[in-house]
Structures are given as C-alpha cells and as structure tokens.
Amino acid sequence: MLKQYKVGILLFDYVDALDFAGPYEVFNLTTYSSNDVKKLFTNQLKDKPFSVSTVSQDGRQITVHNGLQVTPDYSFSNAPLYDIVIIPGGPLKALKLVEGNKEIIAWIQSYSDKLIASVCTGAFFLAQAGILNGKKATTNRVALNLLARSFPEVEVISGVKFVDEGNVITAAGISAGIQMALHVVSKLFDEETAKRTAHTIELD
C-alpha cells in the first residue's frame, strides 16, 4: 500500500491567495511515478501521495485578501485528522484577526505534534501557539523585525526561503510557500519526486 498523507490547509478572512494556493497545487500535482503525470491532467489518477483539503473555523465562505471568495471543504468540527497542516498568512488585518482568535490558535496548537508548516506571516500564528519557542523561523521579509520583536523566544532567520526545524517548517513570503511545499515532498518521499512535481508545475 503506497503511503498517502492527509494535508489540511487553514483558511481565514484576508488570507493571501498564493500562500495557500501555491502549496495546494504542489501537493495536488505530486505523483508516485512519472507515468502518473499525464493522468493528472485527464483526471484519471486515483492514487496520489497527498490528499489535500481546506479547513476554516466554521466552514463558511471566506474572503481572500484582494477579494476572491473561497468555500472551505471543512470546519474545525468536521475536518479529518490531518498528517500535515499548512498555515498561510496575510496582511496586517489578517494577523490581527487570527492572533485574537483563541479557537483558531487552539486548533493550530492541537497539531503541534504533526508536520506543521507556515507560509509568509502564518509564522506569527505558529509563534502565538507556542510552536516556535526555542526554534529558528522565518517569515515574509517585511515582517521579520516584527516577528523578532513580538516573539523574542523565536530565533528569526532572514535571507532564506524556508527554515526546517524537524516537524515545524516556516517559509518566507508568499511564493516561498511553493518551494517549502516541494521541500516537504522531498522530505516525505525523495528528491526525484520533488523534482518531478517542480517539472509538472513548470518551476525551474
């Protein structure tokens, strides 16, 4: 039986679109073999390394930063148990909204023993949940100083696309989430699988 991982991507109002859509596409377009790639585009592929879904606090439609409307697959109450959780970020109003939401932070905290990864300012939510204490982390370059000031117990790293601290991975801004997701593919499968995915999404 081939290993399949359940990936949950958190959604909330004002989330940045590419923060979640980048990893969403990377995981959905990963295959077990090169023979499977053609099947991806004809919807004939049944077995995939990752089963990806989106989840929000109440499962109701959210409004992405810049206005896109998205309906999540699940709410916290009916979501499956995930192996991997992706925490995207957003602008300052998204930060304020999520950091002040005890239920969202508690949900993130409940996945602290799984593979959990943030994109962009999603690192603030991991820090708020205590998951980054004593760890190295990164975020969007414009938010690095704010992260360091807000969470002195986190060692903030600049000039990198992502930081891997075992079961906790933080990515830099927006498009860095794609590189981080490819790194997760390589970590859980192998470099060949990650290279095949990068080729599939036409990332050099």
When pLDDT is cut at 50, 70 and 90, the band that residue 147 belongs to is very high
What phi-psi label fits residue 43: left (phi over 0), alpha (psi between -120 and 50 degrees) or beta? left
Asked if 137 and 155 count as a contact pair (C-beta separation under 8 A), the reply is: yes
Handedness of CA 174, 178, 184, 186 (dihedral sign): negative
Residues shown for the chain? 204
When pLDDT is cut at 50, 70 and 90, the band that residue 41 belongs to is confident
Kindly give, in sequence order, each residue whose CB lies less than 8 Å from that of residue 149, ignoring residues fewer than 6 positions away.
none
Q: Bridge partners of 110?
A: none
* pLDDT tens-digit map of 17-31: 999 999 999 999 999
State the residue range of the domain holding 117.
5-200
| CATH code: domain of residue 169 | 3.40.50.880
* pLDDT tens-digit map of 61-116: 999 999 999 999 999 999 999 999 999 999 999 999 999 999 999 999 999 999 99
Average confidence (pLDDT) over 23-42: 94
What pLDDT is stored for residue 33 in this prediction? 95
Strands 84-87 and 5-10: parallel
Asked if 65 and 17 count as a contact pair (C-beta separation under 8 A), the reply is: yes
* pLDDT surpassing 90 at residue 167: yes
When pLDDT is cut at 50, 70 and 90, the band that residue 204 belongs to is confident
Tokens of 77: 């109450």
Handedness of CA 136, 139, 143, 144 (dihedral sign): positive
Cα separation, 178 vs 161, whole angstroms: 10
Q: Please state the domain count of the chain.
A: 1
* Measured torsion, CA atoms of residues 128, 133, 137, 140, in degrees rounded to the nearest 10: 20
Average pLDDT, the chain: 96
2 or 186: which leads in pLDDT: 186
- The percentage of the chain sitting over the pLDDT mark of 90, rounded to a whole number, equals 94
When pLDDT is cut at 50, 70 and 90, the band that residue 2 belongs to is confident
Model-wide pTM > 0.95 = yes
When pLDDT is cut at 50, 70 and 90, the band that residue 44 belongs to is confident
Report residue 98 CA to chain centroid gap.
Answer: 15
Tokens of 124: 């603030």
